[in-house]
Every structure is written in structure tokens, then in C-alpha cells.
Amino acid sequence: MATQVFKNAMVLINGVDYSALVQSLTLNYEAASLDETAMGNDSRKMRGGLKSQGLDIQFFQKYTCVDANLFGLVGCQTCIEIRSCNACSTDSNPRFQATWLFPRYTPMGGGVGDILMAPVTFEPAGDLSRTVAAT
């Protein structure tokens, strides 16, 4: 099995391609762990609960693109699609897509001499889907 170097991810927000402005991204997917242990059980019994996802993206700030588009999305739900490689969706390059809430935005931050970044976190507002192109 070949390994993959993570260097050309695809990020689409409301159909706008931000791929060339992304330094890093992290997608988390989890289910709540619910305790259904009853009296008389000798061991804990856990059950999966509601699923959730989080998406963190570190953008290189470009006010004519990143800020111009993201500033107005604060407090709104938005459609985001990501792939590990900016190429067609395949078995080895699945497409992850969901509706996300954009609760906060940091248009600038850093120290003297730093590259201006815009870190963002998206919260779930719908189910996360994982699809690959039909062959």
C-alpha cells in the first residue's frame, strides 16, 4: 500500500476554491460515547451516540479572497467540500462534504515578521458524507 504526502488538498467553500490559500486543514469525525451499563453488569457497556465533525483550516490571509468571502459567512451555514488531493474523487481520494456553521472568524493575528494567517474552525450543521466517484 502506497503512502500519500499531504501537499495538495482541495478546499471548496460554497463552490469557491481556496486550495492555494490553505496551509493546513484537519477534519475530525467522532461519535458520542454513551454509557448503557445497567445494575448487575460487571463491566461497562458503551454505545455510540450522535456523530459530530469538526473542521479546522489555517488560511494564508488574502483580503481580496479569504477575507472578502469569509467575513460575511460568520454566523451562517455553508457547504464545504474537501479532498486530500486536488484531483478527481477516487477510492484513494474520497470527497468529504457537509454543511457547517461558521461561528467565528479571526481576520488577522500574529507577531512581527510573521506571515499573516486566518485560522478558522467550522462546526457541524449537518451530516458528513464520504463519497467516491463511480467507476
Residue 134: what pLDDT? 63
Global pTM reads: 0.89
The predicted-structure confidence for 88-124, as pLDDT tens digits, reads as follows: 888 888 999 999 999 999 999 889 999 999 999 999 9
Q: Summarize pLDDT for 20-77 with one digit per residue, the tens.
A: 999 999 999 999 999 999 999 999 999 999 999 999 999 999 999 999 999 999 999 9
CB-based contacts of 111, cutoff 8 Å, min separation 6 = none
Would you list the domain boundaries of the chain? Answer: 10-31+47-131
pLDDT for 47 equals 96
CA–CA separation, 101 and 79 (whole Å): 9
Q: How many CA atoms within 13 Å lie on the side-chain side of 72?
A: 6
> What CATH number belongs to 10-31+47-131?
2.40.30
